[in-house]
């Protein structure tokens, strides 16, 4: 039985001074959903405020990226050791916006993911195709490549800290959602690809989130699918009531 995980990805939308109020509102609105793992991934600069506000609640805090080196001359980057030291316990790696705007490749996703897992962070590795790739019939090829390269040398033992997020790029922030059947088809492909990497038994234990315009109104039907074990939420994570609506759907799935 895989525990559902609902994680918000705040992106560059919440200031440090606004952080505590949003985390506390999420904690308050979701107190009754102990069967769901609830996470807010915030900009790194918000993490201290988020960790303080989440103390003693069911909400975990994460960041939106990490570097793979322990320290050094990498201006603007944050290490996994810094994230752990800040009290955050989760990290998103390989989000499509990092791939699209900041030169992230499957190889750097792999370096970041392995460093994050080694540091003990629960690591949400994002994969997903663009509309162009889907329409060109390259869906399977793209997902298999992102999985095989992005998770190279990730072991079965590492999978205890691994979460995979399927985020079709065409559904992120666009209001277009993959249908539950479209999403399930890719989630099954992801699990089958993972099984080839780490074994079928371990692959069964790894949670696969769906991300892409998930909201309270469509969460239940997505989360009812066999291989959809949670959500990675952008826009709807910025309003506690909407985020809580998705968490409620996960709690009842
Ligand atoms: C995301 O950025 O991970 C995401 C899924 O965004 P949205 O929910 O806004 O589509």
Ligand 1, atom nearest to 92 Cα = 3
Q: Per-residue pLDDT averaged across 230-235, rounded?
A: 98
User: Phi/psi of residue 122, each to 5°?
Assistant: -70, 120
In which residue are the tokens 């629960």 written? 122
Confidence of residue 146 (pLDDT cuts 50, 70, 90): very high
Look over the chain and give the mean of its residue pLDDT values, rounded to a whole number: 97
Q: Per-residue pLDDT averaged across 59-79, rounded?
A: 98
213 CA to centre of ligand 1 in angstroms: 6
- Catalogue the active-site residues: 95, 167
Confidence of residue 167 (pLDDT cuts 50, 70, 90): very high
User: Which of 96, 234, 237 has the most ligand 1 atoms within 8 A of CB, as the residue to mutate?
Assistant: 234
CA distance 250 to 220: 7
Q: 66 burial class (0-12, 13-18, 19+ CB within 10 angstroms)? A: buried
Token readout for 179 is 């249908």
Query: Residue 47: is its pLDDT beyond 90?
Result: yes
Ligand 1, atom nearest to 171 Cα = 10
Give yes or no for residue 167 CB within 6 A of ligand 1: yes
Does this model's pTM top 0.95?
A: yes
Query: Residue 114: is its pLDDT beyond 90?
Result: yes
72 CA to centre of ligand 1 in angstroms: 31
User: Ligand 1: which residue has its CA nearest to atom 2?
Assistant: 234
Give yes or no for residue 222 CB within 6 A of ligand 1: no
Confidence of residue 176 (pLDDT cuts 50, 70, 90): confident
User: Which of 95, 214, 238, 246 has the most ligand 1 atoms within 8 A of CB, as the residue to mutate?
Assistant: 214
Distant-in-sequence, close-in-space partners of 95: CB < 8 Å, separation ≥ 6 = 9, 64, 65, 104, 126, 167
Ligand 1, atom nearest to 11 Cα = 2
207 CA to centre of ligand 1 in angstroms: 18
Say what the pLDDT of residue 173 is.
Answer: 84
Domain 4-251 in this protein, CATH class = alpha beta
Closest CA to 58 of 41, 36, 43, 90: 36
Asked whether 166 and 184 are in contact (CB, 8 A), the reply is: no
Confidence of residue 175 (pLDDT cuts 50, 70, 90): confident
């Amino acid at each position: 039985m895989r525990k559902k995980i609902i994680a918000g990805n705040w992106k560059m939308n919440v200031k440090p001074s606004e952080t505590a109020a949003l985390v506390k509102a999420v904690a308050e609105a979701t107190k009754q959903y102990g069967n769901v793992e609830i996470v807010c991934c915030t900009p790194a600069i918000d993490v201290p405020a988020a960790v303080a506000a989440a103390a003693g609640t069911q909400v975990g805090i994460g960041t939106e990226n990490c570097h793979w080196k322990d320290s050094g001359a990498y201006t603007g980057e944050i290490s996994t050791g810094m994230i752990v030291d800040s009290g955050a316990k989760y990290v998103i790696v390989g989000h499509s916006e990092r791939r699209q705007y900041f030169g992230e490749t499957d190889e750097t996703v792999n370096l970041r993911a392995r460093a994050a897992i080694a540091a003990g962070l629960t690591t949400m590795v994002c994969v997903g195709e663009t509309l162009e790739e889907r329409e060109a019939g390259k869906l399977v090829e793209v997902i298999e490549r992102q999985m095989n390269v992005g998770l190279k040398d990730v072991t079965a033992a590492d999978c205890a800290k691994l979460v995979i997020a399927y985020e079709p790029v065409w559904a992120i922030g666009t209001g277009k959602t993959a249908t539950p059947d479209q999403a399930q088809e890719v989630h099954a492909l992801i699990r089958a690809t993972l099984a080839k990497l780490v074994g079928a038994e371990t692959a069964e234990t790894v949670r696969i989130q769906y991300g892409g315009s998930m909201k309270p109104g469509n969460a239940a039907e997505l989360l009812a699918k066999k291989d959809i074990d949670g959500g990675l939420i952008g826009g709807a994570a910025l309003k506690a009531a909407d985020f809580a609506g998705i968490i409620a759907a996960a709690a009842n799935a």
